[in-house]
Chain A
């Protein structure tokens, strides 16, 4: 059974960098795409981006200048860094396994439980 678990600080100060890690169990990271998705309180879902084991990554254009997704296959983990955060970045952040090919992505079949990150001084 594939399981994903997010971890990281629940509170980040404005202008600082948000850092989260997703630990994957039950699957090899070398066979899928791995993504981050967020959901502000009471609002809808927003795709942040993905990383493939080859190192290829793709980001939402609306966040591209501030986002970095990296992977450590030896630890079966992938990470999100979002710089220069503001209150608008407060959200539940989910990691997920994504089905893609080299041109498009199709769906997310396994999700972490999510972690709430609040941006506040």
Chain B
């Protein structure tokens, strides 16, 4: 059972915007940077956002991250069919002394 909670699914039409929440606690999101991963069907996860809001080289600025208190949010603007994937948040939990992932959110482009 994950300590980081995400909505099971979100959906929107092409070109629209979606946001995915990641809710944690003072021992994880409230204390440490958050990262986000995109997992396309049948592939390995890919780093989208690190240190709450930083994009690795090659990640388009349609993807953005933010953090406030014990929650983090991933935003995707200009939604494309190629964005259909599972998205996971992740961070370190100081109480567990372990890296923890969110429950995952499936993005569907209508």
Q: From B92, B98, B102, give the contact of A106 (CB < 8 A).
A: B92
Contact among B37, B44, B92 with A105 in the assembled complex (CB-CB below 8 Å): B92
Q: Is the CB of A47 within 8 A of B35?
A: no
| Contact across chains for A94 and B44 when beta carbons are under 8 A apart | yes
> Which partner residue on chain A sits nearest B33 by CB separation?
A106
B-contact 0/1 string along A5-36, CB 8 Å cutoff: 00000000000000000000000000000010
A72 CB-CB contact with B under 8 Å: no
Contacts known (A94-B44, A109-B50); A61 close to B97, Cβ less than 8 A: yes
- Is residue B30 contacting chain A, with contact meaning CB distance below 8 A? no
Number of contact residues on B: which range applies?
20 to 34
Chain A residues whose CB sits within 8 angstroms of the CB of B56 once the complex forms: 109
**Residue A84, interface by CB 8 Å:** no
Mark out the residues of chain B between 28 and 58 whose CB falls within 8 Å of any chain A CB in the assembled complex.
32-33, 35, 37, 43-47, 50-51, 56
Q: B47–A107 contact, CB under 8 A? A: yes
Q: Which residue of B lies closest to A47 (CB)?
A: B99
How many angstroms between the C-alpha atoms of A113 and B99 in the bound complex? 20
Which residues from chain B contact A94 at a C-beta distance below 8 Å?
44-45
Q: Which residues of A42-76 are within 8 A (CB) of B?
A: 44-47, 58, 60-62
The answer, yes or no, to whether A112 is at the interface (CB within 8 Å) is: yes
Q: Once the chains bind, are A104 and B44 in contact (CB under 8 Å)?
A: no
Closest residue of chain A to B99 (Cβ to Cβ) is: A47
| In the bound complex, CA of A61 to CA of B104 (Å) | 21
Known: A60-B98, A105-B92. A112 touches B104 (CB 8 A): no
Q: Report the separation of the CA atoms of residues A99 and B33 in the bound assembly, to the nearest whole angstrom.
A: 11
Interface contact B35-A107, CB-CB below 8 Å: yes
Tell me which residues across on chain A come within 8 A of B99, comparing CB atoms: 35, 47, 60, 98, 105
Rounded to whole angstroms, the CA-CA distance of A20 and B90 in the bound complex is 24
What is the bound-complex CA distance between A113 and B47, given in angstroms? Answer: 14
Q: Is B18 located at the chain interface by the 8 A CB criterion? A: no
Question: Across chains A and B, which 4 residue pairs bring their CB atoms closest together, nearest first?
Answer: A107-B35, A47-B99, A107-B50, A104-B92
